Homo-oligomer: A and B are copies of this chain.
Amino acid sequence: MSEHPPNQRTTLADVATRAGVSRATASRALAGDPRISDATRSTVREAAEALEYVPNLAARSLRARETRALGLVLADLRDPVHAQVAAGFELGAAQAGYTVIIVAAGGDLAEERRALKAFVERSTDGICVASGVIDPDDARDRVGSAPLMLIQPDHDSLVRVPGQGGDGVIRADDANGVRAAVWHLWERGRRDIAYLGSGERATNHLRRLAAASALKAAGGPSLRSFQVPDDAWTRPHELARAVSGDLPDGVICYDDKTALALLDGLRGEGVAVPQDVAVVGFDGIPFAALSNPRLTTVATPVLEMGELGARSLVAAIGSRQPPPACLLPVELVIRESSGGAGGLREDGVSQGTGAGRAPRPEVLVGG
């Protein structure tokens, strides 16, 4: 506390001095306090302008006990789905005047915990975990009194709790989407249907279970199942070989990345899609509409989920109520990889996910 590196930032006190008023008055004037006379208000504003005053939010936060910042933990920004969620979250936050701190935890439990701790240290006004592997209850414990949202949590407890999940959980209706995919394949005459799973976590199990039960309900044989590692999509040959040995006539993939890689790999094997096998993806990333053949997929409203996450947090901050749970509808987008729309037009690519913005009660079919 002695070296004055001469470029100290101008502070409220400087503004006050220049305007010839007290710090309190300067503060109130800039805050738009109605009790301040127009004359002083403009004097102060001019002084602030002239000195290029920028408020110090650390100080303000300390005093006001709010940071106007939200924390977002996610697995990996490189993944188009997570990036989309992040984009929506940032959008929702920005609209409400909040800034976003993002931590990529790589699907690692310890990292997720560290991220939560970082957010608590920074006193973020709200915290969101997207696709987290952390136990929701554990997460709730760690965030203290800050409102918490969980978007598509990937923890086992979710498999046991069908439907919405607890407070503050935003989920897509994965089960319904997978069901629609199975029905679609069934309707196209496919009977030897397989689920190609990637990763070993809860959402994967959930989707597999949904596929199995849908196939059973349709009166089909039991679901075939393939399981590949998380990063298998980076090795299309391997992916295709896993499936082509005993080729089903329909494959529902864990996600679009995997499905697109499978398409690529199958082409290498000389397997024709959809003639030899129909392929369905999951997520509805934009590139699913640009593949050859174009990919039939269960589109989830990822951007909307992120946006809703942020909005819910903001609402919870304002109301001091816990944010509600929400189950968002998904949409089966039928394209070439499963034989096409059959008379209906196919949908094109869009900036969004292909899913409608407004929650709708049923699984939608078509584009």
Contact = CB atoms under 8 A, between A and B. Distances in A.
Contact of A56 (B99, B123, B291): B123
A137 interface: no
Contacts of A91: 104
A94 B108 CA distance: 14
A94 B62 CA distance: 24
Interface stretch (A39-47, A189-197, A230-238): A230-238
A120 B57 CA distance: 9
A82 B61 CA distance: 31
A349 B290 contact: no
A117 B56 CA distance: 11
Interface in A60-94: 61-62, 67, 69, 76-78, 80, 83-84, 86-87, 90-91, 94
Nearest to A349: B234
A69 B101 contact: yes
A17 interface: no
A22 interface: no
B264 A290 contact: yes
B103 A101 contact: no
Given A91-B104, A236-B349, A267-B292, A67 B77 contact: no
B303 A236 contact: no
A121 interface: yes
Interface string A287-306: 10111111000000001000
A275 interface: no
A117 B53 CA distance: 11
Nearest to A117: B54
A30 interface: no
A109 interface: no
Interface in A276-295: 286-287, 289-294
B83 A77 contact: yes
Nearest to A89: B77
A102 interface: yes
Contact of A351 (B54, B67, B78, B289): B78
A78 B67 contact: no
6 contacts: A69-B122, A77-B77, A94-B103, A100-B102, A234-B286, A236-B290
A-B interface, 9 closest residue pairs, ranked by CB to CB distance from nearest: A83-B83, A77-B87, A292-B292, A58-B61, A264-B290, A287-B287, A58-B62, A78-B87, A57-B121
Given A7-B145, A236-B349, 15 more contacts: A7-B144, A69-B101, A69-B122, A77-B77, A78-B83, A83-B83, A90-B103, A90-B104, A234-B351, A236-B348, A237-B348, A261-B349, A263-B290, A264-B289, A264-B349
